[in-house]
Amino acid sequence: MLSPRGIRPKIRREQVVGALSVLKKFGQGTSWSPVVTYGFIRQKSTGTVSLDDVYSTGKHFIGPDFEFKVFQADAHFLELDRIRAFTSDRLEVQVSATMQYFLRKEDLPLLHRRFDLQYEDVVMKSAEDALKGEITKFTTRELYEKRAETESSIYKAVRQRLGGVCCAINCNSFQYACPPGCIERDFCLEENKGVFVDVKYFQLGEVFIHRDVEERYLKTLTLKEDNEREKLIQDAQVERKRTDKLVRQRKNEVLEIQQQAEALSKLLRVESVANYTVIVEGARSKGLKDLYAGLGITQQIYKNSFDYLRTLRGLENVWLTVDFDQRIVGSLDPKGRR
């Protein structure tokens, strides 16, 4: 580049070195904080850590004598492998589980003061204790038959042990972020915050039973099944006897109803015949009375003879004839033989 007079100015070596030194110091005073970490400012010369601010993403000018003391900001993967615990029926089992937890940025100063960078061992121990305590609420059989319920219950216990009983800033950030009865953040004390992490995901793994315990458990199940089978057999026998009794009772009721119906039928039949006879005889008596009056028959001997002859005529196997010579009335066959 030329000066206004067309003369190239001379740049001294000392000036270049000085400018480079300034740029180097400026570069040393700028620190980069990765996206996946939180950080506190730490002075290199003294080792003092400032907890006033929690830094996260981006470049921050903090000076050449400072650096970041970083904490993992993304998910921490914790595996619990075959944790020994006792069920409510006093059988030892081994339970495996995995979970993913996150440090709470707003509580990072509290975590640093209490645990510094050694918080992972504390988190693991607390999670193990919570799992052991919750397993005691279930029987060995329920760990298999009610797996979803067991997993949910253990998750709640672990979340509360690690995260405390305070409500999260965003209740929709993860499951159980704000469990029933949680304390509002404004009224939450340090002792209510657990170990200052949020367990956002939990998976219950395999449940192992020792061989001797498994044999006892299977024997218990077998005995229980045998007892249930015997009870079902006894119930079936009782039900069979009860059914037979009901069948006999119903048959007796049917027989009784049938006999009553037959007796009533006979009674009605007898009454009908009796009523028929009374009506017919009454009508016959009245008819004879009217007939005698109309024919002028007054003597009883003639009435009897007439009635006798009328009776003979009413018989199907009697043919009435009159023998004027011998005055004999008899029964003849259709050919006229007596």
Residue 98 bridge partners (DSSP): 79, 203
- What average pLDDT is seen over the chain? 83
Tell me what percent of the residues of the chain surpass a pLDDT of 70. 83
Identify whether 293 is part of a domain. Answer: no
11 pLDDT exceeds 70?
A: no
Q: Is residue 8 very low, low, confident or very high in pLDDT (cuts 50, 70, 90)?
A: very low
Instruction: Work out how many domains the chain is built from and give that number.
Output: 3
Domain region containing 61:
13-72
CA pair distance 33, 52, nearest whole angstrom: 17
Query: Do 114 and 156 reside in the same domain of the chain?
Result: yes
Query: Do 41 and 128 reside in the same domain of the chain?
Result: no
Query: Do 80 and 203 reside in the same domain of the chain?
Result: yes
Identify whether 103 is part of a domain. Answer: yes
- Asked which of 50, 72, 94 is the last residue of a domain, the reply is 72
Query: Do 19 and 51 reside in the same domain of the chain?
Result: yes
Higher-confidence residue: 68 or 1?
Answer: 68
pLDDT in tens, 164-196: 999 999 999 999 999 999 999 999 999 999 999
Structure tokens at 63: 């000076």
pLDDT in tens, 90-124: 888 999 999 999 999 999 999 999 999 999 999 99
Identify whether 190 is part of a domain. Answer: yes
Are 192 and 164 in contact by the 8 Å Cβ rule? The answer is yes
Quote the pLDDT of residue 9. Answer: 46
Quote the pLDDT of residue 330. Answer: 52
Query: Do 17 and 124 reside in the same domain of the chain?
Result: no
> For residue 189, which amino acid is it?
L
Quote the pLDDT of residue 338. Answer: 47
pLDDT in tens, 255-310: 999 999 999 999 888 888 888 888 888 888 888 888 888 888 888 887 788 777 77
Q: Is residue 240 very low, low, confident or very high in pLDDT (cuts 50, 70, 90)?
A: very high
Quote the pLDDT of residue 5. Answer: 42
Are 69 and 50 in contact by the 8 Å Cβ rule? The answer is no
Residue 183 bridge partners (DSSP): 166
Are 94 and 122 in contact by the 8 Å Cβ rule? The answer is no
| Of residues 150, 152, 103, 96, the one with CA closest to residue 123 | 103
- Is the whole model's pTM more than 0.85, yes or no? no
146 pLDDT exceeds 50?
A: yes
Radius of gyration for the chain, computed over Cα atoms and rounded to the nearest angstrom: 58
Identify whether 214 is part of a domain. Answer: no
Identify whether 112 is part of a domain. Answer: yes
